[in-house]
Amino acid sequence: MAALRSWSRVLNRAFLTQSRQFAAAAGHVESHQAGRMWKILTFVVALPGVGVCMLNAYLKMQHHSHGQPEFVAYPHLRIRSKPFPWGDGSKTLFHNSHVNPLPDGYEDHGDHH
């Protein structure tokens, strides 16, 4: 019985060593193929996808009207419980006077495009 156990251990070690060598060799080949696959996918799928998205954004920008939307003074929007610590205290940090209204409406600069 002891001899059977020792032979079993020897065969098990040999099998594990051989299977590890095969796995290492296969892993190198698979990693090379995986890298090649991702490179192909980048050029065939990702870059054209980015191009289509850029074209879509450009065409929508051309079709979109650039006028200000009508101002509606909803009571739950543009609440100022205390002034902002910059500027005049009424404008947000990234304020755009063309698209962001103040609590009482849009700023009128007279330079409508």
How much is the CA Rg of the chain, to the nearest whole Å?
Answer: 33
| The pLDDT of residue 14 is above 60 | yes
Estimate the share of the chain in helix, then strand, then coil, as percent rounded to the nearest 5: 55, 0, 45
Q: What pLDDT was estimated at residue 18?
A: 61
Q: Is the pLDDT of residue 23 over 60?
A: no
Q: With 0-12 CB in 10 A as exposed, 13-18 as middle and 19+ as buried, what is 44?
A: exposed
The answer to whether 103 and 90 are in contact (CB under 8 A) is yes
- With a cut of 60, say whether residue 65 has pLDDT above it: yes
pLDDT mean over 74-91: 88
Q: What is the mean pLDDT of residues 97-107?
A: 87
What does the pLDDT read at residue 29? 64
- In 3D space, the residue among 64, 73, 71 whose CA is nearest the CA of residue 113 turns out to be 64
